[in-house]
Amino acid sequence: MPADGIGAEHRHELIGLEIEPLRGIVRELGEKPFRAGQIYRWIYARRATSFDAMTDLPEALRHRLSISCTVDRPRISRVQESSDGTRKYLLALSRGGEVESVFMPETRRVTFCISSQIGCALDCRFCFTARMGLVRHLSAGEIVSQVLTLAEDNRDRCEGRPINIVMMGMGEALHNFDASMSAVRLLADPDGCAIPRRRITLSTAGLAPAIRRFAGEPIRPRLAVSLNATTDEIRSRIMPINRRHPIGELLDACSMVPLAPRERLTFEYVMLRGINDTPRDPARLCALVNRHRLRAKVNLIACNGGEGHDWEEPAMEAVRRFRDDLLARGVPASIRRNRGRDISAACGQLVLET
């Protein structure tokens, strides 16, 4: 416990605060507002892990900050490394609970896959995270801290390469809307983490009302929608959220999202053998995109299996045929390379075994 007896539960958590709330805390401490900007840059741009590191602050202020505030990051409980260089992190959060995040190195960039919740409430049948149910939402600070922690632990691997952020880990980011969007603002802020908005992608299983709200946000990441079927019958079978927000409503909401001149929506399509990979599915998918006048691309993902999984992975030849059919019909399509499958770090595989 700090010297003045303030317990950790009563101290301000600074990671996750945007600049205005931070100015409020600085005023409480009797300091001038410009100090907030200094602290803000130390936390997010310089990624300081302690107040002692904030060397352009007066020593007395650093001491008061250490008594009344924290810049705690998650503790790394476990790191698993895949044969392809992917690293999966189990992070213990200071507010309690654990979460998984993934670091993926590539030749010209690195990608961090981060989580927005512990568990998930949406119960997509092919996703292992769904088996946990929803434990709790993460705060904006807990979301951003995953990025700070992975960047620090992979400093040499990140050197000289841009960072991509995909909010595709555990949880449904738009179910935790306010914290997720606050985290995006902190990540994208040039005075904050300074990760360009175009390098941040938020994935959703299809919460149509939240997508409409997302469309009105002044600072938006790229949007990836987990579509995974071309009929309401199949989508409702594998994604229960479709019973509340069927495909038509979902795509109408997607059509409201403003796009930059060269930007496209991404439709993620997890392929399940014999379920959503029939010869008729590419044509139906193209018809949906055209009917709703969407500027979109499709990212095909072969289902990732595991113990107790009810679905089978399609043959790669079938995935390529699906892609080629989409391309022939004028819809951009690609196949996602699954990373970290041997450590259960690929799409849909994150789940807390503890």
- Which residues are annotated as catalytic? 100, 347
Please, where are the H alpha helices in the chain? 19-28, 34-44, 59-68, 140-153, 155-158, 177-188, 208-215, 232-238, 247-254, 281-291, 316-328
| CA 30 from centroid of its chain's CA atoms | 37
Please tell me the distance from the alpha carbon of residue 313 to that of residue 1, in angstroms, as a whole number: 52
Residue in 342, 240, 332 with CA at minimum distance from that of residue 286: 332
Taking CA 26 as the corner, what is the angle to CA 22 and CA 29, rounded to the nearest 5 degrees? 145
For the chain, the C-alpha Rg in angstroms (whole number) is 21
Map tokens 């199949």 to a residue.
234
Please tell me the distance from the alpha carbon of residue 232 to that of residue 34, in angstroms, as a whole number: 54
β-bridge mates for residue 79, sequence order:
89
Residue in 109, 197, 195 with CA at minimum distance from that of residue 147: 195
Please tell me the distance from the alpha carbon of residue 189 to that of residue 219, in angstroms, as a whole number: 9
